[in-house]
Structures are given as C-alpha cells and as structure tokens.
Structure 1
Amino acid sequence: MTHYAHLWLFFAVVFGVIALPGLDMAFVLGSALSGGRRKGMAAVGGIVAGGVCHVTMTALGIGMLLKLIPGVFNAVLLAGALYIAWIGLSLLRSTSGFDASVSPVVRPQRATFWQGMFTALLNPKAYLFMLAIFPQFLRPAYGALWVQALVLWGIIAITQFVVYGGIALTADAVRAWLKQRPSSNMLATRWVGILLIAAALFTGVEGWRGI
C-alpha cells in the first residue's frame, strides 16, 4: 500500500468514527441550538483542540496508562457521559425552549470553547480510537513518527471541522426556524434533551464494555 492510499484509508476510518453519534456531536448540537452558529463553531473549535491533546497523550503513552488503570479510564468515561446527560436534563427541564437569554446551557463563546475541549477529553470513544486504531497507522517506513502523527491529526481535525461544523450550521438554521414557532420549539427542546441523555447512556455503556 502506498503512503497516499494509507492516508485515504485512515481518513475513511476517521470519517466513519466521527460521523457516529457521540458525546462530541451531542455537545455541538446542543451548543448550536441553544446559542446559535457562533456558539456551535466555538464548540467545534474546542473539540478540535481536544484532538491535539489526544494525539499528544498517545505519543507520550498516557493513553496506554489510562487503559492499564481501569479505575482512571472508568472515571473519565463516566464524567463525560454524566456531563452530556446533565445538558440533556437541563433541556428537558427548560421552560423556554432554545432561547439564548435563559437557556441553562448557554455560555460565552470562550467558555463554550473550553467546555468543548473538556468534552473531547472526556469522550471515551476518542480514547478507544487512539488506543486501538491510531497506532496502526504509524509506520516507520513512512518517515518520522512525530511527522506522521501530525499529519494524521490534521486529517482528524479537518474531518471534525467539516462534520461537526456542518451539524452546527444545520442546527443554527433549525434554531432560527424554531424561534418562529414556539410550540415546535419546546417539542424540539424536549427531543434534543432526550437524544443527549440517550447518547450519554449509550456512550457510557458501550465504552465500559470496550474496556
């Protein structure tokens, strides 16, 4: 396999993983629906930045340490799932729908960025990917490993930006439509809350089984 074919294969795998619903996608969706496009893109930026930490941790072997100490990995897994579940519960308890002035999940863009990064760092799917898949695409025959890791991270970052950015823009358009229809707004708020809680439960259960 040529190096370019190797990279295309990695992109295909990454796209499949990122396109699957999970904590990161749920956070971007909730941020964009509650705070609009800017908040959604701030969430995307934080998640992309979290990817830098994942690659760095893998290079330093910290990811393997988490795998070898189940208690630490379980704590990270549950913290991420509980955080997204809290956002979902907040939406279920909201009495105003996706209203930026009162929504409990709205926060300044800078804070949203850091929360997105925090969510990415608590995402068990990311750790499982970095432990099981990422190292398989580092080949000494293709040059310095740190350069390869940088290129692979670039592929991850671009894919995250395209997929999650598309979700943020779509959610912002839906938010504008819902604001004109109060009854639909509240119904959508409840459904998104349920979806976030379901995503948290699914991620937590599946991630725990994957340990």
Structure 2
Amino acid sequence: MDASHSLWLFFLLTLGIIVLPGMDMAYIAGHALQSGARAGLLALGGIVAGGVVHVLLNLSGLSALLMLLPGAFEVLLWAGALYLGWIGLQMLRGAWQGWHAVPAPLAAAAAPAPVATQSPGRIFLSGMANCLLNPKAYAFMLAVFPGFLRSSERGLAAQGLLLGSIIAGNQIAVYGTVLLACLGSRRWQREGGRGAVLLSGVMGLSLVGLAVGTLYSAVTRPA
C-alpha cells in the first residue's frame, strides 16, 4: 500500500475511534462543565499526553508484553473501571452540590454555583491516568498501530512519531470541539439556569455506566 494512502487510512481509523463517546471524552466534558476552560484544557492535555505514552509503550514493546502476561489485561479492566467509576461519582457529587447550591426560583438569575476544583496538576495527571487505564486503547494499539509502523520512506522512530502526531491531532480536534461545546453550555447556564449542572450529572452517570460495563466485561471475559 502507498505510504500516503496508509497514513490517510490510519487517520480515518483513529478519527472514527476517537469520535465514539467514551471515558476520555466524558472526562474532558465533565471538567469543562464543572470548572470551565482552564480545567477542560488541562484535562485535554492530560488525555493527549496519555496517548503519547501509549505510542511510546507500543514502540518499546511493553504494551505487547503487558497484554501477554497472565491476568494483566484483567487487572487493567478492573483498575480502569474502578477509576472511571470514581471519576463519575465525583462528577455526580459536584453536580448534586451545584444543583442545590442555588434556590430554584433564583437559579435563572444567579451565577453558576462554584464547584470545588482540583489542582491543575491533579487534573492533568488524572487525564493521563484516565487514558492509560483505558483497556480499549491498549487493544487498539496492539490490533491497529503495529500494522502501520513499517514504512519504506521512514525509520521506525520517525514513523512512530508521525503516527503519534496523527493520534494527538485527532484527539485535539475532536475533544477540543467537545470542550468548546461544553463551554457554550456553561454560558447557557449563566443565562438560563442549571443546564450545565444537569449535563455534568449526565456525564457522571455515563462514566459510572461505562465503569459498570467494563466490570461486566472483566467478569464475563473467558479465561
């Protein structure tokens, strides 16, 4: 296959996977809705950094080794599900507090209730952890990524860097769009009530649901 066509195919594959709603998207949306642009950008940065680490792990062979170790993938499933559920519960807690902080008759006229925010470093590192504990990311990197590493035009490191840049670019484009939409929702909240708080609660429920689904996959996965 022509190298340029191969890169376009990789671009479309990664774009299609990133567009699908999942734990990374929900993490960014939850922080943007609860805490605003800075928190959303930090969450986005952490997710992108996690994607870079995934590429480095794959290039070093550690990702394949991790998948081959008995029980390693199950550990990832459980750790990712528990962490995902914890984030979802934190979002639900923040949404609950925000909903009850302002009396209903005054909600439309009042500014959004402040929500306790995490430190910038914690948001960024939690975003990395959110990406690195996503078992689907490891499956994608093992099933799809290696097939695009060989190139007659570039060495392994240069090709890996190029593929990693495509992944990061797609993450920034898709998740950045989600971030902008969530910031628009926050403005809607200031103008018309508790909309962003409600959406944050929906995101929290979605994360808890994803966690339950991941746990179910871990329990029912054939040995």
Fold conserved between structures, TM > 0.5:
yes
Alignment of 1:1-211 (within 5 A): 1-93=1-93, 94-97=96-99, 101-103=114-116, 106-205=117-216, 209=221
Pairwise CA RMSD of aligned residues?
Answer: 2.3
Distance (whole Å) between structure 2 residues aligned to residue 184 and residue 162 of structure 1: 25
Shift of 1:64: 0.9
Q: Where does the alignment leave 5 or more consecutive residues of structure 1 unmatched?
A: none
Partner of 2:98: helix, strand, or coil? coil
Shift of 1:134: 0.1
TM-score, structure 2 as length reference: 0.84
**Closer, same or farther: CA 189–50 of 1 in aligned 2, 3 Å:** closer
Distance (whole Å) between structure 1 residues aligned to residue 62 and residue 88 of structure 2: 30
Distance (whole Å) between structure 1 residues aligned to residue 179 and residue 222 of structure 2: 29
Shift of 1:45: 0.8
**Closer, same or farther: CA 47–207 of 1 in aligned 2, 3 Å:** farther
Q: Where does the alignment leave 5 or more consecutive residues of structure 2 unmatched?
A: 102-111
**Closer, same or farther: CA 101–12 of 1 in aligned 2, 3 Å:** same
Shift of 1:108: 2.4
**Closer, same or farther: CA 186–150 of 1 in aligned 2, 3 Å:** closer
**Closer, same or farther: CA 207–174 of 1 in aligned 2, 3 Å:** farther
Partner of 1:101: helix, strand, or coil? coil
Q: Deviations 1:37-76 (Å, cap 9, x if unpaired)?
A: 1111111111111112111111111111111124222222
Shift of 1:186: 4.5
Count residues with an aligned counterpart.
209
TM-score, structure 1 as length reference: 0.88
The answer to whether the Cα contact below 8 Å between 1:14 and 1:159 also exists between their aligned partners in 2 is yes
Q: Which amino acid aligns with 1:136?
A: G
**Closer, same or farther: CA 95–13 of 1 in aligned 2, 3 Å:** same
Larger Rg: 2
Distance (whole Å) between structure 2 residues aligned to residue 100 and residue 155 of structure 1: 38
Shift of 1:143: 2.6
Distance (whole Å) between structure 1 residues aligned to residue 201 and residue 38 of structure 2: 22
Moved segments of 4+, more than 6 Å = none
Aligned counterpart, 2:108: none
Q: Which amino acid aligns with 1:35?
A: S
Distance (whole Å) between structure 2 residues aligned to residue 79 and residue 198 of structure 1: 15
**Closer, same or farther: CA 46–83 of 1 in aligned 2, 3 Å:** same
Partner of 1:193: helix, strand, or coil? helix
Q: Which amino acid aligns with 2:64?
A: M
Q: Deviations 1:68-124 (Å, cap 9, x if unpaired)?
A: 124222222222222221222233332214967334xx3122321111111111111
Shift of 1:18: 0.6
Q: Deviations 1:104-152 (Å, cap 9, x if unpaired)?
A: xx31223211111111111111111111100011124233111100000
Shift of 1:206: 5.1
Identical pairs, percent:
44
